[in-house]
Amino acid sequence: MAGHHHHHHMDPDAGDARMFWAVVVNLGLTVAQIIGGILSGSLAMIADAIHNLSDALSLVIAFFARKIARRPADASMTFGYGRAEVVAALINYTTLIVIGLYLVYEAIMRFITPEGVDGWLVVIIAGIALIVDTATALLTYSLSKESINVRAAFVHNVADALGSIAVIVAGSLIILFGWQWIDPLVTLLIAGYILWISASEIGGVIRILMLGSPPELSASEVIDTIRAIDGVSGVHHLHLWQMQEHEAAIDAHLVIAADRWNDADAIKQAAKDRLKQDFGVAHTTLELECSRHACVGADAIGG
């Protein structure tokens, strides 16, 4: 049975400052890498630079999404703005997939028509990039644990750091053995990693936006728990969804036993308490029906 989920939240302003510096550092690095990639003729470095640019943009999106998500609920957004972070994560992962596919195409073209690469310049700039990527990843690591949005940006950074390592290896092999084909090969590896990580993460984001049930909540367990409460004779029209990443909600019709209608409010409260205790769900909306007038043939889930 699903238990409670505890999240240790960081001070939002401290988090914002980290995000801001991560953006500044990444933009500077992107410019350096693109210039270095053009001068050295290295596609792998330009691939890393493009990925770094997407990093910076992902951090910008994540930064503003965090700001928006903290706004309180209002008449136009009655559930609040928390999903801004989920939308930002979707934009980031989608961008990464497009970049990954583009890099695969470019690498294949390089295999067909190879170009010369300056190994020393590649190694020096990729070394600087690795230091910056590592610093940025450290800035966003703790934030990534509590936000799907920042996690998307963090994943960008880790992919970048690995990309920089791969580029250093490629540059070294070009210096030592003159293997020009290693450059497009490393580009393919970077692209493959970007595509793999994005494809594995984007599903959870889409699930939230599609009002899917939280992965840790079992609909059948929730129904069994409600049915087991004294005075409840049935439950139907159950909906489970995530309002945002760490906030699940339950919506259902509760059928109260005919001879217990006078206790209906107490039974509803007992159901809410049990759902919070067993599943950690605080946002519960329960509609009460007397068993004499309950919906006929209603579906247990949905409807």
What does the domain layout of the chain look like in residue ranges?
12-209, 219-293
Q: Are 253 and 217 in contact (CB under 8 A)?
A: no
* The pLDDT of residue 7: 39
Residue 239 φ/ψ, nearest 5 degrees: -125, 130
Q: Measure Cα distances from 157 to 51, 105, 164, 201, 222 in Å.
A: 9, 22, 10, 15, 38
* The pLDDT of residue 237: 92
* The pLDDT of residue 11: 58
Q: Tens digit of pLDDT for each residue in 71-122?
A: 888 999 888 888 888 888 898 889 889 988 988 998 898 888 877 788 888 8
* The pLDDT of residue 187: 85
CA–CA dist 195, 110 (Å, integer): 19
Q: How many CB atoms lie within 10 A of CB 221?
A: 13
3-state helix/strand/coil string of the chain: CCCCCCCCCCCHHHHHHHHHHHHHHHHHHHHHHHHHHHHHCCHHHHHHHHHHHHHHHHHHHHHHHHHHHCCCCCCCCCCCCCCHHHHHHHHHHHHHHHHHHHHHHHHHHHHHCCCCCCHHHHHHHHHHHHHHHHHHHHHHHHHHCCCHHHHHHHHHHHHHHHHHHHHHHHHHHHHHHCCCCHHHHHHHHHHHHHHHHHHHHHHHHHHHHCCCCCCCCCHHHHHHHHHCCCCEEEEEEEEEEEEECCEEEEEEEEEECHHHHHHHHHHHHHHHHHHHHHHCCCEEEEEEEEHHHCCCCCCCECC
* The pLDDT of residue 58: 72
Look at the block and give the residue holding tokens 């890393």: 48
What percentage of the chain carries pLDDT values higher than 90?
A: 19
| Per-residue model confidence as pLDDT tens for the chain (303 residues) | 334 333 334 456 667 777 788 788 778 888 888 888 888 888 878 777 777 777 677 778 777 887 888 888 899 988 888 888 888 889 888 988 998 898 899 889 888 887 778 888 888 888 988 888 888 788 778 777 777 767 777 777 787 788 788 888 888 998 999 888 888 898 898 888 888 888 888 998 999 999 889 888 888 999 999 999 999 988 999 999 888 777 889 999 999 988 888 888 999 999 999 999 999 888 899 999 888 877 777 888 887
Is-above-0.95 flag for pTM?
Answer: no
In CATH terms, the superfamily for domain 219-293 is Cation efflux protein, cytoplasmic domain (3.30.70.1350)
* The pLDDT of residue 10: 46
* The pLDDT of residue 141: 80
* The pLDDT of residue 12: 62
Class of the 12-209 domain? mainly alpha
